Amino acid sequence: MKSALKWSAIVAAALIVVVIGTLLIIPNFIDPNRYKPELEQYVLETTGRRLSVDGDVRLSLFPWAGVAFSDLRLGNPPSFVEKDFLTVKSFDVRVKLWPLLSKQVEVDRLVVSEPHLSLVTNRDGGVSWDFGAKPAQAKPPSGPSGSEPKAGLPIASLLVGELSVQNGRILVIDHTKGSRQEISELNLALRDVSFDRPVRLTLSAMADRKPLSVEGRFGPLGSTLGQGLVPLELSADAFDHLKLRVKGTLENWPVAPLVRVEVEAAEFSPRRLLAAIEQPAPPTADLKVLERAALKAHIDADAKAVRVSDAVLILDDSKLDFSAKIKDFARPNVAFDLHLDQIDIDRYLPPPSKAGAGSAPTGQPSGPAPPKTDYTPLRKLILDGRARIDKLTVANARAQDVILKIAAKDGVLSLDPFSMKLYQGTAAGKTVVNVTGESPVTESHLDLDRVQVNPLLKDIADKDFLEGSTQARITISTTGDDPARIKRNLNGRGNLVLSDGAIVGVDLANMVRNAKATLGGEVKTGRKPRTDFAELAVPFTIENGIFHTPESVLKSPLLRLQASGRADLVKETLDFRVDPKVVGTIKGQGDDKDRAGLGAPVIVSGTFASPAFRPDLEGLARDRLKQALGPSAPGGAPVKEKAGELIKGLLPGKK
């Protein structure tokens, strides 16, 4: 028995020696370089690309099974100007052979030196990374009982000593846009690579000559690949200005990865970041904005949807809390809910043009027509969102407690409803924009309640010509997406009522009482003229940019005014006539009886920027002449005397 065991051990040892000797000798008798031409021809026939390995291919089998080569080149198809798709200075991989017998993979080193990858988009839209469609793969058979094959890896353990990419480069060229971007000095290292402990990662690179770095760890991966959660923790430093931290888990990553992470961007300056990457900052009216930003968010993402929750964005003096969900990326379906504490939008808009708005005729095109806007993305968009803004400033107007419900589907976008507090009153309504046609069609309805018009006009137009508390119901519609066309196509109707207010800058009561004031017969005072009123009611219609009011009524303690006329919203011109009825006493404010006093009609002309008021002396003379020359009662004054009295009443100094 002992003799049999002895001879068995001797035979086993001899076999091991023979195997090891064979593994050591084979590489000396087999030259892998002999097969390079066959490999190059196969790659050319399969992909249409040229493959060359200029350096020697080295093969070893014991104690490490290894392959090493240098100067590899994989070309682009002939239609590309750039000849090489991939070049590798050297490649070296060594795997321990003996542990493979027990499904244990031990890699001594896997090093790729100076890989250079060119991702090119041709002028015709072709891309260099398109290797053609792969042949259909037959579905792997089920197990004997028809069950699915077990998940996991066909190896028991994995251990890698060194895995690195050294001094790599990725070049992205798009000839359709004339753009070129480069990631250079790319160095990637993975350490402690195994199934049962976290893998450490370090990456550094220069993006267009600007530094990038990432470090962190992920894992353990586990031997049943794709099952369970893989912890992930990374921190990145971009361009010495942006520090980003990501912490979470990765699930089912080989097949259908699901990422759940907390993302945090430490406070940084967007303006300085753009300067660091040599990109211009957007033009803003306030150069002090875009100086402070920070972000925190929880993100769940898979191949079909991205969900953002518990997100907080800081931008300068504003804080935005929001959540969102995006799915069906081909036809984006977006839902969101946001709350913004405050924002002054005017600070972020481009500064006013130095040429000035009045350099060209109002409403007339000043240059070539702008290119048409492509509304295809909006037609595909599905949107369901809600927004709350505590304090909002836009066009210098200040609003509080803004509430918006925003929806979009099949090219129809709506703000329905929206509401806000505005200058001691409220504004509410809805707006619908239809972009299914070539030009957007907009319909809006607005209700104003107790809005103070004077501070509103001062803020948005720097004008001080009207006071009062506003009640209004306005419905308008228009077609177009540029201001001139919007005004030309504006149509609508409404009713505007101002209470307990004044028209500042003109004393209509004095003007209509006596035409002598305009002709120089009245003594002017230093007080700024104004026309107080108890109520000003303006019913109106708008047709193709022309505002028209058939009978606006002003009621004040001392006069009644009826106004009619039109305003051209495109040319910004005025054409109104104001017909007065002078009230003799304060008592007249409460009653509806016509008063006997007759004043001068007033013509309102000029432009929105410079309105002009003047008495209608011709109309006054005509009305008085008709009154004076009308039927005389028996014993009345002769016609000649009546005409003389009329002239005396119109000319200053005549008594």
431-461 residue pLDDT tens? 999 999 889 999 999 999 999 999 999 998 8
What span, in angstroms and rounded, lies between the C-alpha atoms of 378 and 361?
33
What span, in angstroms and rounded, lies between the C-alpha atoms of 173 and 181?
6
Residue type, 403: I
Which range among 45-54, 116-125, 126-135, 304-313 shows the weakest confidence by mean pLDDT?
Answer: 126-135
Q: Does 137 have pLDDT greater than 50?
A: no
Find how far residue 652's CA is from the centre of its chain: 65
Q: Is the peptide bond before 351 cis (omega within 30 degrees of 0)?
A: no
In this predicted model, which residue has the larger pLDDT, 45 or 293?
Answer: 293
Give the pLDDT band (50/70/90) at residue 115. very high
Give the pLDDT band (50/70/90) at residue 34. confident
Question: Closest by alpha carbon to 325, among 346, 345, 298?
Answer: 298
Q: Judge whether 536 and 553 are in contact, CB under 8 Å.
A: yes
H-helix or E-strand spanning residue 63: none
Q: Does 646 have pLDDT greater than 90?
A: no
Give the pLDDT band (50/70/90) at residue 619. low
In this predicted model, which residue has the larger pLDDT, 649 or 238?
Answer: 238
Q: Does 471 have pLDDT greater than 90?
A: yes
What span, in angstroms and rounded, lies between the C-alpha atoms of 490 and 570?
10
Q: Does 595 have pLDDT greater than 70?
A: no
In this predicted model, which residue has the larger pLDDT, 368 or 237?
Answer: 237
Q: Judge whether 97 and 19 are in contact, CB under 8 Å.
A: no
219: which residues sit within 8 A by CB, 6+ positions away?
Answer: 195, 197, 198, 199, 230, 231
Q: Does 228 have pLDDT greater than 80?
A: no
Give the pLDDT band (50/70/90) at residue 387. very high
Q: Does 384 have pLDDT greater than 60?
A: yes
In this predicted model, which residue has the larger pLDDT, 625 or 489?
Answer: 489
Give the pLDDT band (50/70/90) at residue 579. confident
Average pLDDT estimate for 2-17: 45
Give the pLDDT band (50/70/90) at residue 370. low
Domains of the chain by residue range: 22-128+155-222, 224-352, 480-615
Average pLDDT estimate for 319-338: 94
Q: Two tokens at 191? A: 């350490």
- Listed in order, strand segments (DSSP E) in 462-558 are 466-479, 491-504, 530-543, 546-555
Q: Residue holding tokens 């021809």?
A: 41
pTM higher than 0.85, yes or no?
no
Q: Does 479 have pLDDT greater than 80?
A: yes
Question: Closest by alpha carbon to 384, among 436, 447, 432, 336?
Answer: 336
185: which residues sit within 8 A by CB, 6+ positions away?
Answer: 167, 169, 204, 205, 206
- Out of 215-229, 338-352, 523-537, 639-653, the most confident range is 338-352
- Listed in order, strand segments (DSSP E) in 241-317 are 242-251, 258-268, 293-301, 305-315
Give the pLDDT band (50/70/90) at residue 59. confident
Q: Judge whether 532 and 511 are in contact, CB under 8 Å.
A: no
Q: Does 49 have pLDDT greater than 60?
A: yes
Task: Tell me which DSSP letter residue 98 carries.
Answer: G
Give the pLDDT band (50/70/90) at residue 104. low
The per-residue pLDDT for 602 is: 81
Average pLDDT estimate for 74-91: 89
The per-residue pLDDT for 362 is: 46
Give the pLDDT band (50/70/90) at residue 145. very low
Average pLDDT score, the chain: 80
Question: Closest by alpha carbon to 197, among 247, 159, 154?
Answer: 159
- HSE, side-chain direction, 13 A CA sphere, residue 629: 11
Q: 445-481 burial, b if ≥16 CB within 10 A, otherwise e?
A: bbbbeebbbbebbeeeeeeebbbbbbbbebebebbbb
What span, in angstroms and rounded, lies between the C-alpha atoms of 400 and 419?
9
Q: Judge whether 298 and 311 are in contact, CB under 8 Å.
A: yes
Give the pLDDT band (50/70/90) at residue 170. very high
Give the pLDDT band (50/70/90) at residue 21. very low
Task: Tell me which DSSP letter residue 566 carries.
Answer: E
Q: Does 152 have pLDDT greater than 80?
A: no
Q: Does 175 have pLDDT greater than 50?
A: yes
What span, in angstroms and rounded, lies between the C-alpha atoms of 457 and 464?
7
Average pLDDT estimate for 549-562: 85
Beta partners for 606? 611
The per-residue pLDDT for 100 is: 58
Give the pLDDT band (50/70/90) at residue 526. low
Q: Does 631 have pLDDT greater than 60?
A: no
The per-residue pLDDT for 117 is: 93
